[in-house]
A and B are shown apart, each in its own frame.
Chain A
């Protein structure tokens, strides 16, 4: 590849994706969307891992990415199950309706 994209761009993209994800988690009301935002944050981290792995010529980052993907898959399974259960009891997936922890 004659012109490789410099590492800066990957990092910048990763930051942007992470920020979007974080904002989504903090600001959105729909639990599914919040969930997808979490996935976005995880994948931004994956992107950074892979980019650095290639930049440094070291496979550790890529190995870690597989771990993250695996954990994320498990997390999605648990999380979606929770959301389904919450919907069944509350007839809503608006996370502002779930405030039983209020002191």
Chain B
């Protein structure tokens, strides 16, 4: 194997070692000596995350030295059923796309691990937390490094499990009504994701039937070949075009991604997921796991493009209600971006605002992937990982500071109403904050960076990535692109508005609660990762720096030659085969402008500044003054979104639809496979017959005979031998005597 690709398995080994260490040694260490134990437990986990990061860096350089060609490192055969032509290797795909994801996951992951050492200090589940975090890294790396859809799915389910475990990390905490809210939130996340995961399984089954493989390379080249040749595939006893199959597959992928990446209609779990510890919200529910759906889309770019092209060519069956499934993906993402952006207006919990913001930004990425702007989607994924992790960790720092202030207050007022205060104090409620700017200067500074990056203010990271998505939407023609463009523009406006509202409520004005007055800055262990992330949030735009002005390059080659700025674009080009497909004239990818579109960037920047200004200087100008004051938006239509019964809608439309389709599918599969007949008459009857034969003949005669026979034999021998044991001493003496005589006779006469 060329280069250092042999190191690839270490990527999974390091986090696994971290899990084992904290599972078996962590508890003892922490219990033996709290302080050093926490140090070993937390730093070991961080070291494992960092080691995985180094492996990813090594892979990055090996790819460079390998001319960016993808390498598949096979570890072992997972399934191999030659008769069914079913062969799934356990292999690691090392290409530019997966390495990008690895770097983001392990890089941001390492910073969050280090932050968590400070944040989780003193928690009784300290070692358990780090074991889960490392387990999450392990599964996330399987997800992004798998070379087959099945491995991706293993990681997909694994991160879902870790998400469940970590949302419910404080599973024993209860609210005032005695409900275990955290455990419920974990369960909700898990159950809501089931629907999407079911769609994923269906998509994989379809892919396997069509291509007889789940391997990325095989499927993609097979899909291009079939599409080129215009061949159909035999499914359900009828001939189907590959375009129709891939439309179904990508639509099912949309459902799967909607579950994992919290899109309409499954996004309801993500805001509740904020019940988990803040580092978890940052790592899993903002930076990495929830982007798995986007990764899936980008990874399946060939399938998406073929589905889009089939719809364009009017292939029979290759559309969903008249639209291509990538269009549905784009519309779903854009709708989610707007909806979640609006809901974020109405939240008072500092983390819930960020959670809805995450849903909204994921909508941007999904929309980008659906529009064919895969590089833009990845770009936004990376920059979002930087600044959203930053925002979550900073909010954790704020919560930490508020709790600290509250403790301080509690210690210094042994008086009458301290208990009364404690009962209703919520350290995450923005209404109780205010004026934290001077109390927590570092947190304030990095929070501002993160907020402005998220709002898309020039020249921070979010500006470049969001602008690339918007530019892509505006540069292509078609109703869907136009609709998506305007929806995303509105969503961008919302983003700036709710972030302005948040920073105003948290950091400016006067403290509205005693705890906010006494809040203090978090320890350096927590602020240092924040500063690193803030630097990344500032500089992240350099990854894919567009050209200025309208002087675009005419040809792809020219762009390529001058592409030093477009780092990510050219880096990902090797995984997203835009050019290979277009030069063969098979598929026309929607094109992304590689230069800065001044009109688009201008509109979005003006809107973002207007939104920030409107929220900080107009709507929330002198408000809120007290913690109980009504929100100025509370009498506007925006507030409707908060009270709209989304959950009810989910329970009464999606769930019955899921149940109905599952039942329908069961009937179809039954018809196709004589499922019941085979089960009842072949499998069950044969099995029952064999079991009966075993029970009555084999067991009764064979096994029982052997067991009872040996028992009887021993008893018989015993009854004979027992007679020699008379109990009379002289009989034994006679035995000894005769024995001696015999021995003597032997020695005398034998020689």
Which A residues fall within an 8 A CB radius of B? 22, 25-27, 34, 95-96, 98-103
Establish whether residues A100 and B727, one from each chain, have CB atoms under 8 Å apart when the complex forms: yes
Cα distance A27–B728 when bound, in Å?
11
| A25 proximity list for chain B (CB < 8 A) | 730, 733, 737
10 contacts across the A-B interface (CB closer than 8 A): A22-B737, A25-B733, A26-B737, A95-B728, A95-B729, A98-B729, A100-B727, A101-B727, A102-B726, A103-B721
Establish whether residues A27 and B730, one from each chain, have CB atoms under 8 Å apart when the complex forms: yes
| B737 proximity list for chain A (CB < 8 A) | 22, 25-26
Establish whether residues A103 and B722, one from each chain, have CB atoms under 8 Å apart when the complex forms: yes
Cα distance A22–B721 when bound, in Å?
26
Establish whether residues B725 and A96, one from each chain, have CB atoms under 8 Å apart when the complex forms: no
Residue of B whose beta carbon sits closest to that of A102 = B727
B721, B722, B728, B733: which contacts A96 (Cβ < 8 A)?
B728
Cα distance A25–B730 when bound, in Å?
7
Cα distance A101–B729 when bound, in Å?
9
| A95 proximity list for chain B (CB < 8 A) | 728-730
Establish whether residues B725 and A103, one from each chain, have CB atoms under 8 Å apart when the complex forms: yes
Q: Which 7 A-B pairs have the closest CB atoms?
A: A102-B727, A99-B727, A103-B725, A103-B722, A101-B727, A95-B729, A26-B730
| B729 proximity list for chain A (CB < 8 A) | 34, 95, 98
B734 interface residue, CB < 8 Å from A? yes
Cα distance A57–B668 when bound, in Å?
111
Cα distance A25–B733 when bound, in Å?
8
| A100 proximity list for chain B (CB < 8 A) | 727
Cα distance A25–B735 when bound, in Å?
12
Residue of B whose beta carbon sits closest to that of A29 = B730
Closest-CB distance, B736 to chain A (whole angstroms): 10
Total B residues in contact with A, Cβ cutoff 8 Å: 13
Cα distance A71–B721 when bound, in Å?
35
Which B residues fall within an 8 A CB radius of A? 721-730, 733-734, 737
Closest-CB distance, B729 to chain A (whole angstroms): 5
Closest-CB distance, A19 to chain B (whole angstroms): 11
| B733 proximity list for chain A (CB < 8 A) | 25-26
**Could you list 13 further interchain pairs (A-B, Cβ under 8 angstroms) beyond the known A34-B729, A99-B727?**
A25-B730, A25-B737, A27-B730, A34-B730, A95-B728, A98-B727, A99-B726, A100-B727, A101-B725, A103-B721, A103-B722, A103-B725, A103-B727
Residue of B whose beta carbon sits closest to that of A38 = B733
Closest-CB distance, A70 to chain B (whole angstroms): 22
Residue of A whose beta carbon sits closest to that of B718 = A103
| B730 proximity list for chain A (CB < 8 A) | 25-27, 34, 95
Closest-CB distance, A103 to chain B (whole angstroms): 3
Interface centre among B721, B723, B724, B727 (most CB of A within 10 A): B727
Establish whether residues B734 and A102, one from each chain, have CB atoms under 8 Å apart when the complex forms: no
| A103 proximity list for chain B (CB < 8 A) | 721-725, 727
| A101 proximity list for chain B (CB < 8 A) | 725, 727
Cα distance A25–B738 when bound, in Å?
13
| B726 proximity list for chain A (CB < 8 A) | 99, 102
Closest-CB distance, A100 to chain B (whole angstroms): 6
| A102 proximity list for chain B (CB < 8 A) | 725-727
Cα distance A26–B737 when bound, in Å?
9
Closest-CB distance, A95 to chain B (whole angstroms): 5
| B725 proximity list for chain A (CB < 8 A) | 101-103
Cα distance A22–B737 when bound, in Å?
8
Residue of B whose beta carbon sits closest to that of A31 = B729
Cα distance A27–B734 when bound, in Å?
10
Residue of B whose beta carbon sits closest to that of A99 = B727
| B724 proximity list for chain A (CB < 8 A) | 103
Closest-CB distance, A57 to chain B (whole angstroms): 25
Establish whether residues A26 and B734, one from each chain, have CB atoms under 8 Å apart when the complex forms: yes
Closest-CB distance, A29 to chain B (whole angstroms): 8
Cα distance A52–B727 when bound, in Å?
39
| A27 proximity list for chain B (CB < 8 A) | 730
